[in-house]
Amino acid sequence: MTSENPAQDKDLTGRVALVTGASRGIGKAVAAEFLARGAKVAITARKPEPLADAARDLRSGAGSGAEVLTIPGNAGDADSRRDAVARTIAEFGSLDILINNTGINPVYGSLMEADLDGVKKIFDTNVVATLGFVQEAFKAWMGEHGGVVINLASVAGIRSTGVIAAYGASKAALIRLTEELAWQLGPSIRVNAVAPGVVKTKFAEALVAGGEDAASAAYPMKRLGTPEDVASLIGFLASDKSSWITGETIRVDGGLLATGGL
């Protein structure tokens, strides 16, 4: 019989995942999902203290035997990306799954008034750094052994928002990057993206300033997403259950885009 909870199947046992931006929110929830599925997990983020706190929480939640490696570093820095990949392989012996979760959005409002340095930073972190991580993983392990890459996009990359336009443009570029990588790296490496709606994280606080009830009213499911909603989809995409899925961007948005709005 198949377990009702895929995480209980331990279907990632023996595999190693590197999750970026994993000190909180979606990244941390993805790390927890992978641990529950039996994987060893390396987590990276800029600040050492929150990363260490996240690792303690993850080990406590996963129980005895959970293997979590913390690697502080800036995703936008080439040396940090190289170090994260190298340390993961040195500690755990492989790198089977790469989750590009790190993303920033320091620019809001009209593009005509946008600070171009801020826009460059968004694209450098959300798009260029993602490609940089994939390049490092490919050179160090996946090019020879294969693997899975999952990128964190957004519904803002699928439909215009007006409010977070620069961020949305970067996520649209990430969606196209996902398709290009899937084409170039198949058949041994699968590359997909997920596109969440508003998820209840610190990152999204500015988008729900008017209150959660008001923000969720437009969603057919009448609630905002949780990090676990996204993590469970990523767990599926990382597993062999999705072995014929690549080049896709899968929405996890409570039906928001189905309404025709955003």
**Residue positions annotated with a catalytic role:** 167
The set of residues, in sequence order, having a beta carbon less than 8 Å from that of 74 and lying 6+ positions away, is 46, 80
Q: Is 43 strand, coil or helix?
A: strand
Residue 229's nearest CA partner among 88, 29, 5, 59 is: 29
Residue at token pair 């969720």: 216
DSSP 8-state symbol, 8: G
Q: Is 238 strand, coil or helix?
A: helix
Nearest-angstrom CA–CA distance, 170 and 178: 12
Nearest-angstrom CA–CA distance, 188 and 142: 8
Joined tokens for residue 74: 């800036």
